């Protein structure tokens, strides 16, 4: 059977002042419908580049992306993106931000009343119905990201692309958002590709974790199938040996075999998170929980 | 009601909170120091300024006598106000006489055209100082609005294309520093040559002044609009790409709202420049506004002239200040970024 989304031997080369720079090389991945995929890897390994190529915001130099037997050439609402910094229009209310997307996508297929209903429904889904008329400046970071997710879901995308959706949130808010996302995923069963820096997040949410090697010439290093029963419960899994095994696999890949070029081993930290070397000090190994 | 002995924090109302704040000694000092900073200090500074002006002006002797101090300026302000009222009375009296003549003519059964001829007579007395302020305001707003109508769309187009920006930038940089006095002769000649009509709707001096203002206050709006438009966040542009917004929707829903703060910064700068340019333009073009008033008083050379010019100087400053405040309020009301500090 032909897969739903095929990332077919994709590579991308950027011209720079010091000659061409190959960021991605031979990235090959088949995604099934309804599958939740995480991309994990160190900063600068081209995770976002993969996502942007699938979104159509970047054009690959080699290979291509095929979604439902159609090649992806430009951006479109069938591949909705949830951006890391929410990217809501600050001059529009929460409602109007989602409405802009709904009006654009369902201009012809839905009546005005149906579109209004659809906007409200999607905001309800992310528990933001109480703040319809607030401006993005007036709500918290987690709420903004909820609205960003509602906007993306409202486009009824074939694939939902999430670029470190919870990266800018504090860890408590992040766990709430992860739970919300799992809940939504249980109802809608979307096909999702999510970029993350967070090992726990990847294991908790994904069906498969795509671990990427370091750039330049980054490619897929290993693919880990996460065979944990859904619905998954954060508390229950903390003690689960399978869960901890998966977690350890990812940590080993990231820190033993593909340690970041600039990363130096450091004293243990309590929470694994692959840090951006510019922003946070590089992380290192912790015994697997 | 709440028991006044309990801490004010237990009481919800902000007003009662304030009252307690005043009653407690600490609150009193705080509110007093706020009062001192906001009222006493500026008033004191103004007082010192007036003193320095008064004593300094007496030291400067000109062919028209010493420079006017605050007292002379105040007297002339009143004189100008009285002249204005007297002129208005004369005008009213003129129209009253005119109406009587019309009534008389109608009673005598004169033909309609003759009555119309009487009716259409206009009062032709001199413009008062206050009329001239109004003329100046109308002229500057004409020039400013004309400039904005050109500059905002042009700025948006230039800002959206790197190529157009590169093409226009040298031209803008070349014309931006040009003085209004350099434009004026050219504008005067062009207006005289192009605006030829037997029944002019506008006077040539008005057009010349307004167009000169336009030429000088185009540039800040163009530059700021272009910078604002080119600085639209890349993420928002990506949102518009993912949504496949049309060029028009993208411009109206994302690009323009996003650059509104910069557009208004440009407009405010433009209006400030326009008002300065106008006074110079009116002097040379003889548009009956504040510039002409200053020039006429200078040519007049009476013992009151310097004081009357000083009144005009203060009026120019005051009107400029009001225009700037009005723009600031407009800017605040349309600015979506409520965290931005505008002053």
Please give the pLDDT value at position A281: 39
Whether omega for the bond prior to residue A231 falls within 30 degrees of 0, making it cis, is yes
Contact A194, A206 (CB under 8 A): yes
Range of the domain at B224: 129-334
HSE of A237, CA atoms in CB hemisphere, 13 A: 20
Helix, strand or coil, per DSSP, at residue A62: strand
B30 belongs to a structural domain: no
Average pLDDT of the residues of chain B: 86
- Looking at per-residue pLDDT, the higher value among B200 and A122 belongs to A122
B7 belongs to a structural domain: no
* Residue B179 touches chain A, beta carbons under 8 Å: no
Q: How far apart, in whole angstroms, are the C-alpha atoms of residue A63 and residue A28?
A: 9
Q: Which band of pLDDT confidence, cut at 50, 70 and 90, is reported for residue A267?
A: very low
User: What's the CATH fold of domain A1-72+198-289?
Assistant: Rossmann fold (3.40.50)
B87 belongs to a structural domain: no
**CA-closest candidate to residue A116, choices A130, A131, A98, A134:** A98
Using alpha carbons, list the distances in angstroms from residue B337 to A118, A233, B55, B59, B83. Answer: 28, 40, 47, 51, 48
Q: Which band of pLDDT confidence, cut at 50, 70 and 90, is reported for residue B103?
A: confident
Q: How far apart, in whole angstroms, are the C-alpha atoms of residue A43 and residue A197?
A: 8
Q: Which residue has the tokens 């949102």?
A: B239
Q: What is the pLDDT of residues B120-173, one digit of tens each?
A: 888 887 888 999 999 999 999 999 999 999 999 999 999 999 899 999 999 999
Contact A36, A186 (CB under 8 A): no
In chain A, the residue whose alpha carbon lies closest to the alpha carbon of B241 is: A75
Please give the pLDDT value at position A285: 38
Q: What is the CATH number of the domain that holds B291?
A: 1.10.3720.10
Q: What is the pLDDT of residues A117-142, one digit of tens each?
A: 999 999 988 888 999 999 998 999 88
Q: What is the DSSP letter of A17?
A: T
Give the pLDDT mean for B84-99: 90
Helix axes A112-125, A141-154, angle to 10 degrees: 140
Rounded to a whole number, what is the distance in Å from the CA of A77 to chain B's nearest CA? Answer: 5
B49 belongs to a structural domain: no
Average pLDDT of the residues of chain A: 84
Please give the pLDDT value at position A280: 39
Apex CA B69: angle with CA B63 and CA B71, to 5°?
A: 125
The answer to whether residue B1 scores a pLDDT higher than 50 is no
B230 belongs to a structural domain: yes
Per-domain boundaries in chain A = 1-72+198-289
Please give the pLDDT value at position B16: 55
Give the pLDDT mean for B317-328: 94
Q: How far apart, in whole angstroms, are the C-alpha atoms of residue B143 and residue B316?
A: 17
Contact A64, A70 (CB under 8 A): no
Q: Across the interface, do A101 and B243 touch by the CB < 8 Å criterion?
A: yes
Rg of the Cα atoms in chain A: 19
**Cβ partners under 8 Å of residue B121, min gap 6:** B98
Using alpha carbons, list the distances in angstroms from residue B58 to A250, B50, B65. Answer: 87, 12, 9
Give the pLDDT mean for A140-168: 91
Q: Across the interface, do B254 and A89 touch by the CB < 8 Å criterion?
A: yes
By mean pLDDT, which of A212-226, A261-275, B15-29, B213-227 is the weakest?
A: A261-275
Residues in chain B, overall count: 343
* Residue A87 touches chain B, beta carbons under 8 Å: yes
Give the ranges where chain B is alpha helix by DSSP (H). Answer: 14-23, 25-35, 41-59, 70-107, 112-119, 129-160, 162-175, 180-194, 204-230, 234-242, 247-250, 256-285, 290-300, 305-334
In chain B, the residue whose alpha carbon lies closest to the alpha carbon of A80 is: B242
Q: How many domains does chain B have?
A: 1
Residues of chain A with Cβ-Cβ distance to B245 below 8 Å are 104
Closest in A76, A89, A91 to B242, CB measured: A76
């Amino acid at each position: 059977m032909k897969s739903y989304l095929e990332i077919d031997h994709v590579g991308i080369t950027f011209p720079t002042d010091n000659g061409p720079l190959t960021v991605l090389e031979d990235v090959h991945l088949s995604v099934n419908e309804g599958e939740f995929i995480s991309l994990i890897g160190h900063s600068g390994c081209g995770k976002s580049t993969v996502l942007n190529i699938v979104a159509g915001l970047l054009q690959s130099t080699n290979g291509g992306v095929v979604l439902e037997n159609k090649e992806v050439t430009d951006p479109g609402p069938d591949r909705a993106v949830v951006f890391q910094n929410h990217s809501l229009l600050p001059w529009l209310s929460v409602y109007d931000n989602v409405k802009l997307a709904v009006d654009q996508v369902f201009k012809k297929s839905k009546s005005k009343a149906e579109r209004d209903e659809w906007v409200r429904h999607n905001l309800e889904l992310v528990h933001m119905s109480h703040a319809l008329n607030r401006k993005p400046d007036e709500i918290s970071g987690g709420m903004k990201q909820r609205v960003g997710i509602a906007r993306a879901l409202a486009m009824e995308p074939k694939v939902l692309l999430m670029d470190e959706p919870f990266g800018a949130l504090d860890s408590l808010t992040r766990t709430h958002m992860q739970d919300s996302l799992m809940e939504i995923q249980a109802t809608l069963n979307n096909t999702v590709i999510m970029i993350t820096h967070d090992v726990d997040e990847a294991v908790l949410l994904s069906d498969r974790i795509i671990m990427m090697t370091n750039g330049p010439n980054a490619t897929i290093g290993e693919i880990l199938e996460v065979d944990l029963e859904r619905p998954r419960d954060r508390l229950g899994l903390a003690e689960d040996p399978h869960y901890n095994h998966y977690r350890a696999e990812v940590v080993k890949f990231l820190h033993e075999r593909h340690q970041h070029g600039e990363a130096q081993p450091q004293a243990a930290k309590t929470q694994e998170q692959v840090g951006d070397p510019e922003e946070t000090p590089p992380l290192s190994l912790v015994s697997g929980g | 009601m709440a028991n006044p002995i309990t801490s004010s924090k237990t009481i919800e109302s902000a007003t009662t909170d304030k009252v307690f704040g005043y009653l407690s000694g600490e609150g009193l000092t705080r509110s007093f120091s706020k009062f001192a900073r906001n009222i006493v200090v500026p008033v004191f500074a103004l007082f010192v300024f007036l003193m320095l002006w008064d004593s300094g002006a007496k030291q400067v002797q000109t062919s028209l006598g010493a420079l006017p101090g605050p007292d002379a300026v105040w007297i002339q302000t009143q004189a100008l106000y009285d002249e204005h009222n007297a002129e208005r009375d004369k005008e009213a009296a003129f129209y009253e006489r005119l109406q009587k003549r019309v009534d008389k003519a109608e009673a005598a059964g004169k033909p309609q055209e003759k009555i119309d001829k009487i009716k259409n007579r206009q009062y032709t007395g001199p413009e008062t100082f206050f009329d001239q302020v109004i003329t100046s305001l109308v002229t500057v707003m004409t020039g400013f609005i004309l400039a904005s109508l050109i500059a905002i769309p042009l700025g948006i187009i230039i800002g959206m294309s790197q190529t157009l920006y590169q093409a226009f930038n040298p031209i803008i940089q070349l014309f931006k520093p040009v003085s209004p006095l350099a434009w004026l002769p050219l504008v005067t000649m062009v207006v005289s040559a192009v605006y030829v009509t037997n029944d002019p709707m506008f006077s040539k001096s008005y057009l010349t002044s307004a167009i000169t203002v336009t030429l000088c206050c185009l540039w800040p709006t163009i530059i700021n609009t272009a910078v604002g438009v080119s600085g639209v966040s890349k993420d928002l542009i990506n949102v518009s790409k993912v949504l496949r917004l049309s060029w028009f929707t993208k411009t109206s829903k994302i690009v323009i709202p996003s650059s509104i703060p910069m557009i208004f910064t440009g407009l405010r700068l433009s209006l400030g420049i326009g008002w300065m340019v106008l006074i110079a333009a009116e002097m040379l073009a003889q548009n009956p506004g504040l510039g002409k008033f200053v020039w006429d008083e200078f040519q007049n050379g009476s013992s009151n002239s310097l004081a009357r010019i000083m009144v005009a100087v203060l009026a120019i400053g005051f009107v400029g200040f009001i225009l700037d405040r009005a723009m600031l309020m407009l800017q605040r009301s349309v600015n979506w970024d409520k965290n931005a500090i505008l002053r």
